[in-house]
Amino acid sequence: MNGEKTYEMLWDCSFCGARKLLGLTHRHCPNCGAPQDPAKRYFPPEEEKIAVQDHQYVGQDVLCPACQTANGRLAKHCGHCGSPLEGGKAAALQQEQVIPDHVHSPSPAQAPKAKTGAKVGIGCAIGGIFGLIVLAIIGFFVLNSILKKDAGFKVVGHTWTHAVEIETYEYKKESSPCSKMPTSAERVTRQKQEPVCETRKIDQGDGTYKEKRECKDQEDICTYQVGRWVPKRSEKNTGSSVTDPMPWPTVTLSRPGECEGCEREGKKTATYTLRLQDASSGKEKTCSFSDPEKWKSFQVGSSWKAKVGGISGGIDCDSLTPGP
Ligand SMILES: [Zn+2]
Ligand SMILES: [Zn+2]
């Protein structure tokens, strides 16, 4: 499936407007005689490719230092003006094209033009809307922080939560490249994958281009059963006193061990929340802390100052300072 073939590049004559002239065969325009401009070369469409048989590639064309005409690499003097070609620059190359194979859909080149246009249109519309949303969100945050103001708060209470997640061991069907399969996988089935191919068009700079087809073998895909710990439920204790003990919930596992349906303790989360009342509006706000000592240190009835967002009214808990 891998292979190489050489084709003619095409060029358009900028003097008489003749189109689709051959890069290798037509060194001069067959219509008006103007020399070929290598910068105007392009890859032909798929259905107009012309293969070059037994092409001897000797290198990129050389531009004549005197008249800029492109000459074959082996020429010593310019075919157009006769000047020596020594020191002439190499002809410019067109950018390489890579065309991946599409297994289930036609290649973009073969797809109808209108369809592509419509897709682009929808893409632009989605992009535009997305951009506007992003701008609106950024604008909101900027304004919110610019318009930040001080507000007074009074501590009205505390709440705490100690939660323990309980995970269940479950068998799940998964698939991945076989080399990435977990070692504990069971009941494995392997599936062969088709190789992925692409065609590369490489400008050779002498009026021809090389088409290289390259295929890469794909790794087999394995489908298997694998045991995973999955969070299923959680137990929690809550309270509102800062002086009473704050025990973690007692967790009863239905079946300990590592078996299908077995349970184990998962993530533990402690949340310490302060309830604050906005002195002017009377609205309640909350601040959460990870350090219980800090949380306890806020006395019920004490007064605090904090920054609040100009639009959202959200409290910046890091900015709490004592004071009326
Ligand atoms: Zn011409
Ligand atoms: Zn010349």
How many structural domains is the chain composed of?
Answer: 2
The reply to whether 267 and 182 lie within a common domain is yes
Query: Residues in the chain, how many?
Result: 324
**In the prediction, which pLDDT does 308 show?**
86
The reply to whether 126 and 182 lie within a common domain is no
Ligand nearest to the backbone CA of 75: 2
Q: Rounded mean pLDDT of the chain?
A: 88
Which residues are near ligand 2, the ion (C-beta closer than 5 Å)? 64, 66-67, 69, 78, 80-81, 83
Average pLDDT rounded to a whole number, residues 274-292: 91
**In the prediction, which pLDDT does 103 show?**
53
Q: Would residue 244 count as lying in a domain?
A: yes
Ligand nearest to the backbone CA of 15: 1
The reply to whether 300 and 179 lie within a common domain is yes
- How sure is the predictor about 2, in pLDDT bands with cuts at 50, 70 and 90? low
The reply to whether 268 and 241 lie within a common domain is yes
Q: Would residue 267 count as lying in a domain?
A: yes
Question: From the CA of 263, how far away is ligand 1's center (Å)?
Answer: 82
User: At which of 92, 125, 146 does a domain end?
Assistant: 146
Q: Would residue 37 count as lying in a domain?
A: no
Q: Say what percent of the chain tops pLDDT 90.
A: 66
Range 299-304, long-range pairs (CB < 8 A, 24+ positions): 299/155, 300/155, 300/156, 300/157, 300/158, 301/154, 301/155, 302/154, 302/155, 303/152, 303/153, 303/154, 303/279, 304/152, 304/153, 304/154, 304/155, 304/276
Question: From the CA of 21, how far away is ligand 2's center (Å)?
Answer: 21
Q: Would residue 263 count as lying in a domain?
A: yes
Question: From the CA of 60, how far away is ligand 2's center (Å)?
Answer: 16
The reply to whether 123 and 170 lie within a common domain is no
Ligand nearest to the backbone CA of 26: 1
Question: From the CA of 36, how far away is ligand 1's center (Å)?
Answer: 9
Question: From the CA of 34, how far away is ligand 2's center (Å)?
Answer: 12
The reply to whether 131 and 154 lie within a common domain is no
CA–CA separation, 188 and 204 (whole Å): 48
Is the pLDDT at 94 greater than 70, yes or no? yes
The reply to whether 117 and 227 lie within a common domain is no
The reply to whether 158 and 128 lie within a common domain is no
Neighbours of 40 (CB within 10 A): 16
The reply to whether 165 and 117 lie within a common domain is no
**In the prediction, which pLDDT does 123 show?**
64
The reply to whether 182 and 214 lie within a common domain is yes
Is the pLDDT at 268 greater than 80, yes or no? yes
**In the prediction, which pLDDT does 122 show?**
66
Q: Would residue 96 count as lying in a domain?
A: no
Question: From the CA of 15, how far away is ligand 1's center (Å)?
Answer: 5
**In the prediction, which pLDDT does 141 show?**
82
CA contacts within 13 A on the Cβ side of 106 = 8
pLDDT tens, residue by residue, 137-196: 888 888 777 777 888 999 999 999 999 999 999 999 999 999 999 998 999 999 999 999
Q: Say what percent of the chain tops pLDDT 70.
A: 93
Question: From the CA of 16, how far away is ligand 1's center (Å)?
Answer: 4
**24-28, 54-58, 125-129: range with lowest mean pLDDT:** 125-129
pLDDT tens, residue by residue, 97-152: 999 987 544 444 444 444 444 555 666 777 788 888 888 888 888 877 777 788 89
The reply to whether 211 and 314 lie within a common domain is yes
Question: From the CA of 19, how far away is ligand 2's center (Å)?
Answer: 23
> Is this structure's pTM higher than 0.75?
no
Average pLDDT rounded to a whole number, residues 237-252: 92
Ligand nearest to the backbone CA of 66: 2
**In the prediction, which pLDDT does 5 show?**
94
Q: Would residue 295 count as lying in a domain?
A: yes
pLDDT tens, residue by residue, 64-92: 999 999 999 999 999 889 999 999 999 99
Question: From the CA of 235, how far away is ligand 2's center (Å)?
Answer: 87
* Structure token digits, residue 310: 């100009």
Question: From the CA of 64, how far away is ligand 1's center (Å)?
Answer: 20
The reply to whether 224 and 318 lie within a common domain is yes
**In the prediction, which pLDDT does 101 show?**
85
**In the prediction, which pLDDT does 119 show?**
53
Which of these, 72, 78, 79, 75, lies nearest to 57 by C-alpha position? 72
Is the pLDDT at 34 greater than 90, yes or no? yes
Average pLDDT rounded to a whole number, residues 27-34: 94
Residue 142's domain spans which residues?
113-146
**In the prediction, which pLDDT does 240 show?**
92
Question: From the CA of 19, how far away is ligand 1's center (Å)?
Answer: 9
Which of these, 204, 235, 191, 251, lies nearest to 91 by C-alpha position? 204
Question: From the CA of 20, how far away is ligand 1's center (Å)?
Answer: 11
Q: 48 in helix, strand or coil? A: helix
Q: Would residue 307 count as lying in a domain?
A: yes
**Angle at the Cα of 161 from the Cα atoms of 157 and 164, rounded to 5 degrees:** 180
Question: From the CA of 9, how far away is ligand 1's center (Å)?
Answer: 16
